[in-house]
């Protein structure tokens, strides 16, 4: 993380960004020889796919992924019905009206109402699972680092973001190069771009979140989803993308939407399984890099493959599900139908009496949003039923109208059913977007305050909490539990600042939109001092030596520092791939931090007992790297 879309956008532009030095030419040729290589594409995911490791997360990732897959299974038939099925039904209804066939018309309307009711009820039931259980499916991913657990109990997903991060990638690169395998070398180039994008991108994400992933993991995921959606709309697919996506006649490609991007094909291996040689390289590099320090239980290639298979299954559904677009309103009924329209309005007016706002904006309680959306869906379902009943009960009166008037009225009433089903879909879908379970769609980027609050630190307060401030970062984690009503991932945290202070991101990246972080500028050579720091903070505050990360932060934060994700990734690969620096890939606890250890949580220390949930359970002063 950042999210998979941003990582792929950087990776696909990497060959162009690499400097044309003698060394970079080798890398450019590797990438351009196989521009659609899934090795390079999947490499850009870095260790993020291990979030889907059943070996480590067990029931937690099983419950979360199963819920998301069930949501997609519920959404897909609604999209198909709204986009493909309802139009032939509407045409058949027109024909029945024109031929004055009341029995056939009644049967068509009954089928329409039954199908719409079934699909809408399924969507309501899926949303209701969250409303009634009030279980936060993201809570079990509470990072072991934040709990103060010893490092041999951490998850590999976290460990590969926090320990010997550059050395691991360089070890893989050296093994792949020694083997002379261009596929594996492309994987390492993609992985190195992940490191560069994380080092620059996570501080940008953290500036919007209010703190690093370890204390705000659910909000972190939510913000990344919105940044991915923003970037997908902002950046056009280059020609190289289109060839690699293999868009066919049955695909519903959408240029500005994650749900119709088919980006999973950039990372998809034959059979949707990890090649044996890649799993073996990953495990061999893990053992070579971490064998002499405490680390999580060893993986085998099968564990890596299992995580990839679940991850690619999720990414394929997320990037190919498509979308149901709002139906186009027909002309309103004519004056001859006024009495029937008035009667219909009176029939449904009671359904909406006392209705509150749905999930489209306002409010900060996710459970309140889910509950409001569920209430809205129930009312829409009742409206659909009433609409169908009204048409059937008044078929004789409708068919007595002049043909053009009868057609206009029927089309308008059927449109109410079509619109209602789409509203059910969109209401539930957006509530799940705000829960962090689904990526936002293109139209969500026009929904305020969400679309501004989650992509720009300057607007982070728009959904609640204090204004994000460069000088009060990082914020401590908030009270958070598995059960009960919670909305903390929607609100900028109002907790106290962790001390000592740290920089969230360069000032030119603070309070701006994601393109500045992704590819706006090159870096400041003075910021190269981050590579060589010996400790995070000087023991003597008066010591301004660049041997300390925080001193380098303060000396360079007015400029772009390491630059954009694309520029920094190219520099790392072109200049340092053999021996990459060990940056903390979560941007924890500030910008440019290396893989420092927490004081008091060294490899030989006993486990640290967690403190009360309102506070940080570990000492957040950091010590020398390993």
Q: Are 229 and 2 in contact (CB under 8 A)?
A: no
Q: Do 300 and 283 meet the contact criterion of CB atoms below 8 Å apart? A: yes
Residue 135 pLDDT: 66
Same domain, 337 and 430: yes
SS3 annotation, 71-140 = HHHHHHHHHHHHHHHHHHHHHHHHHHHHCCCHHHHHHHHHHHHHHHHHHHHHHHHHHHHHHHHCECCCHH
Residue 146, domain member (yes or no): no
Q: Is residue 143 part of a domain?
A: no
CA pair distance 102, 107, nearest whole angstrom: 9
Residue 483: predicted pLDDT:
56
174 and 267 in one domain?
A: yes
The pLDDT, as a whole number, for residue 370 is 65
Residue 305 maps to a domain: yes
In a domain, 434, yes or no: yes
Any residues with CB less than 8 A from the CB of 469 and at least 6 apart, and which? none
Give me the average pLDDT of each 10-residue run along the chain (626 residues). 89 86 83 95 96 85 80 81 75 73 76 78 69 68 82 92 95 97 98 97 96 90 96 90 88 91 96 96 97 93 94 94 85 90 89 60 53 78 87 87 88 87 85 88 93 95 91 82 66 85 92 95 92 88 90 94 95 94 91 76 34 36 42
The answer to whether residues 180 and 258 belong to one domain is yes
Quick one: pLDDT at residue 314? 93
d(CA 172, CA 170): 5
CA dihedral for 196, 619, 621, 164, sign (positive or negative): negative
Residues 298 and 430 in one domain: no
Does 307 lie in the same domain as 221?
yes
Task: Give the per-residue pLDDT at 486.
Answer: 60
Considering the domain architecture, whether residues 164 and 265 belong to the same structural domain is answered as yes
Number of structural domains (the chain) is 2
Q: Which of 440, 469, 496 is the last residue of a domain?
A: 440
Query: How high is the pLDDT of residue 562?
Result: 96
Identify the pLDDT of residue 603: 38
Residues 300 and 175 in one domain: yes
Residue 563 lies in a domain: yes
Domain stops at, among 440, 465, 481 = 440
Shared-domain flag, residues 601 and 464: yes
Same domain (yes/no): 98, 222: no
Closest CA to 375 of 317, 322, 427: 427
Domain boundary at 393, 409, 440, which?
440
Measured CA to CA, the distance from residue 280 to residue 299 in angstroms comes to: 10
Q: Are residues 615 and 549 in the same domain?
A: yes
Residues 6+ apart with CB under 8 A from 209: 216, 219, 220, 223
CB atoms within 10 A of CB 591: 30
In a domain, 150, yes or no: no
State residue 508's pLDDT score: 95
Can you tell me the distance from the alpha carbon of 12 to that of 240, in angstroms, rounded to the nearest whole number?
A: 8
Are 504 and 600 contained in the same domain?
yes
Residues 44 and 64 reside in one and the same domain: no
Residue with token string 């010590």:
623
Asked, for residue 145, whether it belongs to a domain, the answer is: no
- Domain encompassing residue 474: 4-53+155-321+457-625
445 domain-assigned: no
Label residues 432-471 b or e (16+ Cβ within 10 Å = b): bbbbbbbbbbbebbebebbbbbbbbbbbbbbbbbeebbbe
């Amino acid at each position: 993380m950042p999210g998979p879309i941003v990582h792929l956008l950087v990776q696909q532009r990497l060959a162009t960004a690499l400097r044309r030095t003698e060394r970079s030419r080798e890398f450019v040729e590797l990438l351009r020889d196989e521009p659609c290589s899934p090795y390079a594409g999947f490499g850009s995911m870095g260790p993020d796919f291990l979030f889907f490791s059943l070996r480590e997360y067990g029931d937690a990732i099983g419950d979360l992924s199963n819920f998301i897959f069930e949501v997609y299974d519920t959404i897909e038939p609604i999209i198909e019905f709204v986009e493909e099925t309802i139009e032939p039904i509407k045409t058949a209804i027109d024909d029945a009206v024109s031929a004055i066939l009341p029995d056939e018309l009644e049967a068509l309307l009954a089928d329409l109402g039954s199908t719409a009711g079934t699909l809408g009820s399924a969507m309501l039931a899926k949303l209701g699972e969250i409303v009634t259980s009030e279980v936060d499916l993201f809570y079990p991913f509470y990072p072991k680092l934040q709990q103060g657990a010893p490092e041999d109990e951490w998850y590999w997903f976290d460990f590969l973001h926090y320990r010997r991060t550059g050395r691991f990638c360089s070890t893989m690169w050296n093994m792949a190069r020694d083997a002379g395998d261009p596929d594996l070398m492309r994987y390492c180039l993609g992985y190195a771009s992940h490191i560069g994008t994380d080092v620059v991108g996570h501080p940008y994400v953290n500036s919007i979140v209010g703190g690093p992933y370890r204390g705000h993991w659910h909000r972190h995921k939510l913000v990344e989803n919105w940044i991915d959606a923003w970037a997908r709309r902002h950046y056009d697919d280059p020609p190289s993308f289109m060839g690699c996506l293999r868009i066919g006649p049955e695909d519903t490609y959408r240029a500005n939407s994650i749900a119709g991007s088919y980006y999973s094909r950039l990372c998809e291996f034959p059979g949707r399984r990890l090649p044996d040689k890649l799993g073996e390289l990953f495990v061999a590099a893990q053992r070579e890099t971490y064998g002499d320090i405490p680390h999580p239980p060893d993986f085998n290639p099968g564990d890596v493959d299992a995580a990839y298979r679940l991850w690619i299954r999720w990414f394929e559904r997320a990037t190919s599900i498509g979308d149901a677009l709002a139906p186009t309103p027909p002309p309103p009924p004519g004056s001859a139908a006024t009495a029937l329209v008035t009667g219909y309005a009176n029939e449904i007016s009671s359904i909406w009496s006392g209705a509150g706002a749905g999930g489209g904006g306002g409010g900060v309680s996710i459970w309140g949003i889910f509950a409001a959306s569920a209430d809205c869906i129930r009312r829409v379902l009742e409206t659909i039923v009433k609409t169908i009943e009204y048409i059937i009960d008044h078929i004789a009166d409708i068919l007595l109208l002049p043909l053009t008037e009868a057609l206009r009225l029927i089309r308008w009433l059927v449109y109410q059913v079509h619109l209602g089903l789409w509203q059910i879909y969109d209401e539930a879908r957006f509530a799940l977007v705000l829960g962090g379970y689904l990526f936002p769609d293109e139209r969500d980027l026009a929904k305020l305050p969400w679309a501004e609050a989650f992509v720009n630190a300057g607007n982070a307060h728009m959904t609640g909490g204090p204004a994000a401030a460069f000088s009060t970062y990082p914020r401590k984690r908030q009270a958070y539990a598995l059960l009960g009503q919670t909305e903390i991932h929607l609100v900028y945290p109002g907790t106290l600042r962790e001390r000592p202070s740290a920089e969230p991101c360069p000032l030119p990246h603070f309070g701006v939109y994601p393109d500045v972080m992704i590819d706006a500028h090159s870096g400041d050579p003075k910021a190269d001092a981050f590579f060589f720091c010996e400790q995070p903070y000087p023991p003597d505050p008066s010591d301004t030596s660049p041997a300390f990360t925080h001193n380098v932060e303060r000396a360079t934060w007015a400029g772009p520092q390491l630059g954009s994700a694309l520029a920094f990734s190219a520099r790392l690969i072109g200049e340092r791939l053999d021996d990459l620096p060990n940056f903390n890939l979560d941007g924890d606890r500030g910008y440019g931090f290396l893989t420092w250890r927490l004081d008091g949580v060294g490899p030989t220390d006993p486990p640290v007992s967690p403190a009360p949930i309102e506070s940080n359970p570990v000492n957040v002063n950091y010590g020398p790297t390993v």
